[in-house]
A = this chain, B = another copy of it.
Amino acid sequence: MHFADALTERIKATSPVCVGLDPELRKLPEGIPKDAKGVLQFNTGIIDAVKGIASCVKPQLAFYEVLGWEGMKTFWETCAYAKEQGLIVIADGKRNDIGSTCEAYADAYLNADSPIDALTITPYLGSDGILPFVERCKKNEKGIYILVKTSNESSGEVQDLPTGDEVVHEHIAQLVEAIAVQDLGAKTKLSSIGAVVGATYPEEMKYLRTLMPHVPFLIPGYGAQGGTATDVKHGFLKDGTGAIVNSSRSIIFASGGKDWQKAAEKAAEKMAKELA
């Protein structure tokens, strides 16, 4: 099934909640080993806790790469387990490169047999750094989320630079929309080509939704970073689909004690209600 159709179905069946799997070792609950195997144990526990509530999980590659190759083994095992449990799996790698290197990244994460449904990418290299991923999206029913306006404080240093009558991230939004309309879902009018738009800039999000009507949004910055349900509402389409909202720490580390799974479940439920 086309990525946007699968995503929309899953959001309707569950919620727009995306749980960020950012397993910092020092924050793992007591009793979980502080290593790559412990991370796998923790991740499967979190996935079991949230799989009926969240539409997606988003493992953040940095937290696996920092554990060496053993961490990457855990990354792939986590993705496979989440996929088996029916979750949409988004690898947050913000990859970017050109030519055969870009092809290698696309093959690494968006191959037909990959448990990963979508990958985040960074647009600084222009379309050379985007189109090889788009090709895999079309061929293998996968998705990408292109960074447009990120949630962090300094995002404006590059993304808000004025250029002509607009700013850089608005210009990129138009490039993303132009690419997106070339691969729309069969059931939805949404594309497999998505955009990352931070919860912490609600006015920008409202405008970006008008610039990218066919683009699914991945919205970071909710919860610990300060974004609220009111801040993200303009990222959604009228039927409540078209966007997923990520929270990592507020869910997975809702408790550092023995009740960590129950606490994660409750935190995910609370967020799903806030977004409903």
* Contact of A30 with B by CB under 8 A: no
Q: Which residues from 103 to 118 on chain A have a C-beta closer than 8 Å to any C-beta of chain B?
A: 104-105, 107-109
Contact in complex: A126, B152 (CB < 8 Å): yes
* Contact of A155 with B by CB under 8 A: yes
Interface residue from B24, B98, B107, B164 paired with A152 (Cβ < 8 Å): B98
Interface residue from B108, B124, B171 paired with A124 (Cβ < 8 Å): B124
Secondary structure at the A interface, as helix, strand, loop or mixed, is helix
Instruction: Report chain B residues within 8 Å CB of A62.
Output: 95, 97, 101-102, 104-105, 108
The count of residues in chain A whose C-beta lies closer than 8 Å to any C-beta of chain B is: 55
Complex CA–CA separation, A123 to B147 (angstroms)? 12
Query: How many chain copies does the complex carry?
Result: 2
* Contact of A201 with B by CB under 8 A: no
Contact in complex: A161, B168 (CB < 8 Å): yes
Contact in complex: B163, A66 (CB < 8 Å): no
Instruction: Report chain B residues within 8 Å CB of A124.
Output: 122-124, 147, 150, 158-159
Which chain B residue shows the least CB distance to A167?
A: B163
Complex CA–CA separation, A104 to B62 (angstroms)? 6
Of A67-75, A184-192, A267-275, the one contacting chain B is: A67-75
Digitize A58-92: 1 where CB-to-B-CB distance is under 8 Å, 0 elsewhere: 00101101101110110110000000000000000
* Contact of A263 with B by CB under 8 A: no
Interface residue from B60, B73, B105, B155 paired with A65 (Cβ < 8 Å): B105
Q: Which residues from 206 to 256 on chain A have a C-beta closer than 8 Å to any C-beta of chain B?
A: none
Contact in complex: B104, A65 (CB < 8 Å): yes
Contact in complex: B70, A158 (CB < 8 Å): no
Contact in complex: B159, A162 (CB < 8 Å): no
